[in-house]
Chain A
Amino acid sequence: MPNKTTKALPLWLLVTVMALSLIGLVDSGYLTLKHFSGVPPECNIFSGCDVVTTSEYSEVFGVPLALFGAGYYLAVFLLAVFYLDRKKLIALNLIRLATVFGFLMSIWLVYLQIFVIGAICEYCMLSAISSTLLFTLSLISLRYIKISNPAER
């Protein structure tokens, strides 16, 4: 039962999603490793000290936010690969759902940096940009395949 107006998701869109999630993975992976290795020797004592990544907002229940970010990007990447492989709509919809959360989280974190912590961490901003782009791409994907579309293939 092919849906009336379904067009295939263009490859460029999927590839861009994968590229952005890889960039995000490198970025948040970097911040995660920094968080675990770097707090006392590198950031906390000696060298330009980094208020943002050592602020009280950098952890949730003792887990660094950057690790959540890395998990998010990894999940988006794997889902995109899965969609590329199997063309299962569920994967696409999960990506869309994830990018909504990613986008909202980014807004919150940018707000915290500017108005609460009063300092900007460029790696965190890079992550905010890639999350925003991912969200934009998932909105664009709606032009091709609607969420309501039942079992496309």
Chain B
Amino acid sequence: MNQTTKSTLIWTIAGLLIAVAIIAAAILSNRTPSDPSTPPNDTEETLTPAVSDQDWTKGTDSPVVTLVEYSDLQCPACANASAIVDELLKEFSNHMQFVYRHYPLRSIHPNAQLAGQAAEAAGKQGKFWEMHDLLFASQSSWSSLASQAAADAFVGYATELGLDTAVFEEDMKSREVEQIVNAQYDSAQKMGLSGTPTFFLNGEIMRNPGTLEGFRAEIRNAINNAQQNN
């Protein structure tokens, strides 16, 4: 084989390999993403357990539609979703109830579990939602902290909210509060939820619309259906 033929062969193969590599990357990136820690198959469609008085709720007490969110306080997407939910609660204040449940993705969000416990601890002093909002609003400032520093930051937020910080700190680290978060985490795992945030509308899992407009349409739809049935 002479030099020119050899060169042509080498560069042709090289070009083909690069093309294959780029196509492989494109195919991989087009697959639907899922949290690697949980298998995405066999996702339960129905909310289990159903909403009860153990849950943190917001909005009307006699709801036509109930929106349940499994969320992770350290997840940026959940912080974005939280703004959407606030808007929905305003728009549908007479019809909608919102329920927050913990699903801290511990493997990728080291402070998420403790953040959930901080919200629960604040809840014991009647300020669950205030802490929830504050944690989402300040997410970027505590996300990357080491766990002790994050705990200190959470105590700082408790002070800001006017809570009894000694009680708060003890509650946040208590077995009881830990188990509340864990029980909700376990329920999410049991249903096979593949990531956060995951929403349930009237107990049925939602294909996430992702935008305020999308949510608005689905909720309006659900309200109309409910009212036609009455």
Question: Shortest Cβ distance from A139 into chain B, in angstroms?
Answer: 24
Q: Judging by beta carbons under 8 Å apart, are B21 and A48 in contact?
A: no
Instruction: Knowing A25-B21, A119-B109 are in contact, say whether A47-B34 is a contact too (CB < 8 A).
Output: yes
26 A-B contacts (beta carbon < 8 Å) = A22-B18, A25-B25, A26-B24, A26-B25, A27-B25, A29-B21, A30-B29, A41-B210, A44-B80, A45-B80, A45-B208, A45-B211, A47-B34, A48-B35, A48-B36, A49-B78, A50-B108, A51-B74, A51-B108, A74-B18, A81-B14, A85-B7, A116-B144, A118-B143, A118-B144, A120-B108
Interface flag for A38 (CB, 8 Å): yes
Q: How far is the CA of A118 from the CA of B110 in the complex (A)?
A: 7
Interface flag for A137 (CB, 8 Å): no
Q: A residues within 8 A CB of B143?
A: 51, 117-118
Q: B residues within 8 A CB of A41?
A: 210
Q: Judging by beta carbons under 8 Å apart, are B21 and A26 in contact?
A: yes
Q: Judging by beta carbons under 8 Å apart, are A49 and B77 in contact?
A: yes
Instruction: Knowing A46-B77, A118-B111 are in contact, say whether A84-B29 is a contact too (CB < 8 A).
Output: no
Interface flag for B197 (CB, 8 Å): yes
* A:15-32 near B, CB below 8 Å: 18, 22, 25-27, 29-30, 32
**Cβ-neighbour of A30 out of B25, B32, B36, B146 (below 8 A):** B25
Interface size class of A (residues with CB under 8 A): 35 or more
Instruction: Knowing A26-B24, A46-B197 are in contact, say whether A51-B14 is a contact too (CB < 8 A).
Output: no
Interface residues, chain B, with chain A CB atoms under 8 Å away: 6-7, 10-11, 14, 17-18, 21-22, 24-26, 28-29, 32-37, 72, 74-78, 80-81, 105, 108-111, 143-146, 194-198, 208, 210-211
**Cβ-neighbour of A47 out of B21, B35, B74 (below 8 A):** B35
Q: A residues within 8 A CB of B197?
A: 45-46
Q: Judging by beta carbons under 8 Å apart, are A119 and B36 in contact?
A: no
Q: How far is the CA of A37 from the CA of B197 in the complex (A)?
A: 19
**A-B interface contact total, Cβ < 8 Å:** 114
Q: Judging by beta carbons under 8 Å apart, are B25 and A119 in contact?
A: no
Q: How far is the CA of A91 from the CA of B119 in the complex (A)?
A: 58
Q: How far is the CA of A32 from the CA of B26 in the complex (A)?
A: 10
Q: Judging by beta carbons under 8 Å apart, are B29 and A34 in contact?
A: yes
Question: Shortest Cβ distance from B57 into chain A, in angstroms?
Answer: 22
Q: A residues within 8 A CB of B18?
A: 22, 25, 74, 77
Question: Shortest Cβ distance from B215 into chain A, in angstroms?
Answer: 11
Q: A residues within 8 A CB of B22?
A: 25, 29
Q: A residues within 8 A CB of B7?
A: 85-86
Q: A residues within 8 A CB of B25?
A: 25-27, 29-30, 32-33
Interface residues, chain A, with chain B CB atoms under 8 Å away: 18, 22, 25-27, 29-30, 32-34, 37-38, 40-51, 54, 74, 77-78, 81, 84-86, 116-120, 122
Q: How far is the CA of A53 from the CA of B104 in the complex (A)?
A: 19
**Cβ-neighbour of A45 out of B11, B110, B194, B210 (below 8 A):** B210
**Cβ-neighbour of A38 out of B10, B17, B33, B146 (below 8 A):** B33
In order of increasing CB-CB distance, the 4 nearest A-B pairs are: A48-B35, A29-B25, A48-B195, A46-B208
Q: Judging by beta carbons under 8 Å apart, are A49 and B28 in contact?
A: no
Q: Judging by beta carbons under 8 Å apart, are A51 and B21 in contact?
A: no
Q: How far is the CA of A117 from the CA of B144 in the complex (A)?
A: 5
Q: Judging by beta carbons under 8 Å apart, are A43 and B36 in contact?
A: no
**Cβ-neighbour of A43 out of B33, B72, B145, B208 (below 8 A):** B33
Q: B residues within 8 A CB of A118?
A: 110-111, 143-146
Q: B residues within 8 A CB of A37?
A: 29
Q: Judging by beta carbons under 8 Å apart, are B195 and A46 in contact?
A: yes
